[in-house]
Amino acid sequence: MASIHDVAKEAGVSVATVSKVINHYPDVSEKTRKKVKLAIARLRYRPNVIARGLVTGRSWTVGVLLHVPFTNPYVSMLLEGMKTALEHSGYDLMRLSARLNDPDYSFIDHCHSRNLDGIVVFGVEKDHRSIQELIQAGIPTMFVDTDATGLRAGNITTDNRNGIRMAVQHLFELGHRRIAYLAGVPGQDVNELRLAGYREGLGAFSLAYREDYVVDGDYSYDSGFQGMNRLMELDVPPTAVICTSDMAAFGAIRAIEARGFTVPGDISVVGFDNIFETELFKPGLTTINQNIHAIGVKSIEELIAMIKDPKYPPPVVTEPSSLVIRESTGIAKVIT
């Protein structure tokens, strides 16, 4: 089995230079980097992870805490983006389980026991005890869709408010004036931002905000189905509905169809996320696109930047959102 000394000899460089290339240090010329990588490939050299950790003081492992169902398509797209960013980084990804509702449980101890260099968190609110402990502990952390920051903690999210405002504008331009909203979990950052965007969108077109047109849910298909049923039982039901997720939108459409109505003939529906299934669903779903893959990539890139440089300022990144128009929205039958 080849050693790091064999690689150095093959490439005609020092052992220190080989180590820098393996550990992704920037102060190596591209020409030298290519020579070392070619020697590594030719000799089939595999770095000793334990020895590497002793030299660098790192475990070369980052954790991801996803406090949402893994059946959610958003999660698979987010993880795919993380995987892309990790492929040539030298880091491995560890999925973390956490008993966040157990008062005797310490998430920080859990992380320390696994000697993690950094953590990505999705689906846990910033005021949760475990999250506050994580921020205060100073472990490099990136939050996804949670407005949390600290000395070593940053966050990345989509432009949620503007995304929903675009959805309101699209429906208004189609003649809709009775626009409802199937919301997410009250209190969560992403939900509050999207709800604010809905209210701002209505206000921009002088449309009244109606409490009965807003139904809380949990981003799932079932909550969309149930929420839409509640809206359709109103004395004056909406002609259009914006959903806080694509999965909720799928449920809403099926609820409309189950009552003998059509989308978009009777009611227009807009989702949020632009998951892969939106193009396959019938009718094709008009939705707010958030580049989930890019969010996954950027969360890891920024996390690694914080790990490598203790002085790297914790980033606050907002990815733009955009409207993708498909078949689930159409001209309102009656403008009222």
How far apart CA 276 and CA 39 sit, in angstroms, is 40
For residues 179 and 96, state if they share a domain: no
Asked if 164 and 125 sit in the same domain, the reply is: no
For 38, half-sphere exposure in the C-beta direction (CA atoms, 13 angstrom radius) is 11
23 with 165, same domain: the answer is no
pLDDT digits (tens, 9 = 90+) for 36-91: 888 888 888 776 554 454 444 556 888 888 877 667 788 889 999 999 998 878 78
* Residue 240 DSSP SS3: strand
**Residues contacting 113, CB < 8 A, separation 6+:** none
For the stretch 206-245, pLDDT in tens is 999 999 999 999 899 999 999 999 999 999 999 999 999 9
Digit-coded pLDDT (tens) for 93-137: 888 776 666 666 677 777 777 788 999 988 777 777 777 888 888
User: Do 70 and 144 fall within a single domain?
Assistant: yes
Exposure of 44 in the CB half-sphere (CA atoms within 13 A): 1
Co-location of 270 and 185 in the same domain: yes
Residue where the block lists tokens 């040539």: 88
Report, as an integer, the average pLDDT of 192-215: 96
In a domain, 237, yes or no: yes
Question: Can you give the pLDDT at residue 47?
Answer: 64
- State whether 132 and 187 are in the same domain: no
Same structural domain, 286 and 169: yes
Q: Does the residue 325 lie in any domain? A: no
Domain assignment present for 336: no
Q: Write down the pLDDT at residue 105.
A: 63
Task: State yes or no: pLDDT of 32 exceeds 80.
Answer: yes
Residues 6+ apart with CB under 8 A from 293: 77, 78, 80, 81, 84
Count of domains in the chain? 3
| Residue 331 maps to a domain | no
Same domain for 112 and 52, yes or no, is no
Final residue belonging to a domain, choices 249, 273, 290 = 290
Is 326 inside a domain boundary? no
Confidence of residue 160 (pLDDT cuts 50, 70, 90): very high
Same domain, 268 and 297: no
pLDDT of residue 54: 40
For residue 69, is it within any domain?
A: yes
**Least confident among 137-151, 234-248, 270-284, 296-310:** 137-151
Give the tokens for residue 290: 């958030």
CATH number of the domain where residue 223 is located: 3.40.50.2300
φ, ψ of residue 196 in degrees (nearest 5)? -65, -40
The pair of structure tokens assigned to 145 is 């869709």
CA–CA separation, 240 and 198 (whole Å): 13
31 and 80 assigned to the same domain:
no
Residue 300 is part of which domain span? 61-158+292-319
Instruction: Say yes or no: 272 and 297 in one domain.
Output: no
Q: 287-330, pLDDT tens digit by residue?
A: 999 999 999 999 999 999 999 898 999 999 999 999 999 999 99
Distances (CA, A) of 267 to 11, 124, 175, 325: 67, 34, 12, 15
pLDDT of residue 91: 85
Residue 50 has what pLDDT? 43
Say if 8 falls within a structural domain: yes
120 & 222 share domain: no
With respect to residue 234, please indicate whether it lies within any of the assigned structural domains.
Answer: yes
Q: Which residue has the higher pLDDT, 185 or 256?
A: 256
Q: What is the CA radius of gyration of the chain?
A: 24
CATH, residue 26: 1.10.260.40
